């Protein structure tokens, strides 16, 4: 066995724990699912406040705040979708 390959194997073994995910960290799928639940909850809350405002049971300030929150949530989701589509198109353009 060559000394350089032994040294490389030792360096790899030493750096491997630094690359492993932390045991308490959530995966990307779980984080994405949580973000989708938060998005749906924001839209549901805004819809309930809008319904209450139409019947006169809600404060106008709460309505404006709910509309701003839902607008921000939709803009964020649209931006995320655009980034995902852009990344997918970039992968399609890669030579095989």
pLDDT interval class at 32 (50, 70, 90): confident
CB 6 within 8 A of CB 30: no
Q: Residue 50 class from Cβ within 10 Å (0-12 exposed, 13-18 middle, 19+ buried)?
A: middle
Residue 21 pLDDT: 58
Q: Residue 21 class from Cβ within 10 Å (0-12 exposed, 13-18 middle, 19+ buried)?
A: exposed
Single pTM value for the model = 0.63
Q: What is the largest CA-CA distance in the chain?
A: 82
Residue 52 pLDDT: 92
pLDDT interval class at 71 (50, 70, 90): very high
Residue 3 pLDDT: 63
On average, the pLDDT of the chain sits at 84
């Amino acid at each position: 066995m060559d000394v350089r390959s032994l040294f490389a194997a030792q360096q790899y073994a030493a750096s491997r724990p630094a690359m492993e995910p932390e045991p308490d960290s959530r995966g990307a799928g779980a984080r994405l699912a949580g973000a989708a639940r938060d998005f749906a909850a924001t839209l549901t809350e805004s819809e309930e406040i809008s319904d209450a405002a139409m019947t006169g049971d809600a404060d106008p300030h709460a309505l404006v705040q709910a509309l701003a929150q839902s607008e921000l949530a939709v803009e964020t989701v649209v931006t995320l979708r655009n980034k995902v589509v852009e990344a997918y198109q970039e992968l399609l353009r890669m030579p095989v």
